[in-house]
Amino acid sequence: MNSGYDVIIGLEVHVELKTQSKLFCSCSASFGAEPNTHTCPVCLGMPGVLPVLNEEAVAYAVKAALALRCTVHPFSKFDRKQYFYPDLPKAYQISQYDQPLAEYGAVPIIVDGHVVKEVTVRRIHMEEDAGKLNHLGIRLGDAKGSLVDLNRAGVPLIEIVSEPDMRSADEARLYLTELRNVLSYLDISDLRMEEGSMRCDANVSLRPHDYVGSLEDLPRVEIKNVNSIRNVQRGIEYEVARQAELLARGERIVKETRGFDDQNGRTYSQRSKEEANDYRYFPEPDLPPLVLTQEAIERVARSLPPAPTVLREELQQAGVTAKEAEIIVGDRALWEYWREATTHYEDKRQVTNWILSDLSRLLNAHGDTWLTPRVTPAALADLLRLIANGTLSGRMAKEVLDRMYESGATAAQTVEAMGVSQITDHGAIQAVVQQVVADNPHVVQDYLNGKEKALGFLVGQVMKQTKGQAKPDMVNAILKGVIADYAKT
């Protein structure tokens, strides 16, 4: 990068847990309802009410912590983080401060299917979400107003805090990609950055090579609430360039919180950064500490699905390349499709080829995802069987797949409707081959003179005349035989 400094990046990721109800009350935690319909005295912060901890949320949080290879503490506690904001009616947020649920895990950074680095997860804690402000520019007399929606107030969150281990915007992107990937297999969150069910704050600082202090003392800029992985990367890139320019001019970097404007790709100053002691944390008096037995933690551990790194290895053992495995495991729905297709059809190599080339192409062209493929894994397997038994050539099968994707019909129905099937009749192919040889004596002579490519041209002519339906390996064999006879004459 630049010779004068290192880029130091740490990420804080908030993940909304998709529990039935909120963290401390029985209101629905679902997204997208009419504003302020999922509220009650507890999440509205009325006086005299008491929070009750949601066990499902704890189970989800433990699941995430174990999947991220953290140590889950048998004893953790909740604390009040005091601050005023219009979307926070209690004027404090229940969070976990000095004794979080879990600590010291890791997220691998994967490049081309291989682990190239591990980023340490410093801590994972549970907390409640705040509400949401809608700045619609509503006019109240002469004043401008905003609306508050408290449906989100009290929805359970986990905050995943990394060590400042990342050294480039690219590493930050890869960390977030794998973090989301690991969590996607747990079914604990929608993980939609654009809807806010996964949110990322990025801490960025530059460490000059002659700097001798601790990382903590470096002036750090926090980029808040960026709404996509791509924008986290862009925000960091901008911020690194901005800070480098300040350093180059001999100016100081101010510790602050900045927003990211995705229209022009820039960060902008929001406020000076708070310190932990600004929040006046103290233990939440209305909740007992969170105590987890070893047995309860182990029960969750046993229920965990295999980690993506394990799935990638399994795929590679099945003959899938590292790069292909990264693509497949990187999308849980795609991995499930692959897994199901390979239970219907044994040749995993063939399944992988068709999924990653032709089926992916069709999905992209139609704007579909692997959650809603129009050709089921079983239907794809049927198609592959028609290739294996010689009914279809690979080229015909591509056309059949295109039609299947449009119509939703089975491979057999489509083949029948199209009236295509492979020509495997020896005599029929031989007749066409003889004609092609007779029509192209110069090309045949070229081949006999050692020009291998000439054979390809002749094969192409045969395929053209049979509308691609002649069985390719038969065409090759028969063509060579006919040419051999031709040479003798």
By beta-carbon proximity to Zn ion, the closer residue of 49 and 247 is: 49
Q: What is the 3-state secondary structure (H, E, C) of the chain?
A: CCCCEEEEEEEEEEEECCCCECCCCCCECCCCCCCCCCCCCCCCCCCCCCCCCCHHHHHHHHHHHHHCCCEECCEECCEEEECCCCCCCCCEEEECCCCCCEEEEEEEEEECCEEEEEEEEEEEEEEECCCEEEEEEEEECCEEEEEEECCCCCCEEEEEEECCCECCHHHHHHHHHHHHHHHHCCCCCCCCHHHCCEEEEEEEEEEECCCCCCHHHCCCEEEEEECCHHHHHHHHHHHHHHHHHHHHCCCCCCCEEEEEECCCCEEEEEEECCCHHHHCCEECCCCCCEECCHHHHHHHHHCCCCCHHHHHHHHHHCCCCHHHHHHHHCCHHHHHHHHHHHHHCCCHHHHHHHHHHHHHHHHHHHCCCCCCCCCCHHHHHHHHHHHHCCCCCHHHHHHHHHHHHHHCCCHHHHHHHHCCCCECCHHHHHHHHHHHHHHCHHHHHHHHCCCCHHHHHHHHHHHHHCCCCECHHHHHHHHHHHHHHHHHC
By beta-carbon proximity to Zn ion, the closer residue of 155 and 362 is: 155
By beta-carbon proximity to Zn ion, the closer residue of 51 and 105 is: 51
d(CA 98, CA 246): 35
Query: Residues interacting with Zn ion, by CB under 5 A?
Result: 25, 27, 40, 42-43
Q: Cα 427 to chain center, whole Å? A: 53
d(CA 121, CA 175): 11
By beta-carbon proximity to Zn ion, the closer residue of 49 and 318 is: 49
Report in angstroms how near the CB of residue 42 gets to Zn ion at its nearest.
Answer: 5
Nearest C-alpha neighbor of 402 from the set 452, 358, 458: 358
Report in angstroms how near the CB of residue 361 gets to Zn ion at its nearest.
Answer: 47
Report in angstroms how near the CB of residue 22 gets to Zn ion at its nearest.
Answer: 5
By beta-carbon proximity to Zn ion, the closer residue of 29 and 334 is: 29
354 is written with which tokens?
Answer: 């068709």
Phi then psi dihedrals of residue 149, to 5 deg: -120, 120
By beta-carbon proximity to Zn ion, the closer residue of 40 and 412 is: 40
By beta-carbon proximity to Zn ion, the closer residue of 29 and 110 is: 29
By beta-carbon proximity to Zn ion, the closer residue of 42 and 362 is: 42
Report in angstroms how near the CB of residue 40 gets to Zn ion at its nearest.
Answer: 3
By beta-carbon proximity to Zn ion, the closer residue of 52 and 138 is: 52
By beta-carbon proximity to Zn ion, the closer residue of 151 and 469 is: 151
Report in angstroms how near the CB of residue 240 gets to Zn ion at its nearest.
Answer: 42
Report in angstroms how near the CB of residue 30 gets to Zn ion at its nearest.
Answer: 13
d(CA 479, CA 477): 5
Report in angstroms how near the CB of residue 44 gets to Zn ion at its nearest.
Answer: 7
Report in angstroms how near the CB of residue 404 gets to Zn ion at its nearest.
Answer: 48
d(CA 437, CA 416): 32
Report in angstroms how near the CB of residue 125 gets to Zn ion at its nearest.
Answer: 21
Report in angstroms how near the CB of residue 55 gets to Zn ion at its nearest.
Answer: 16
Report in angstroms how near the CB of residue 243 gets to Zn ion at its nearest.
Answer: 42
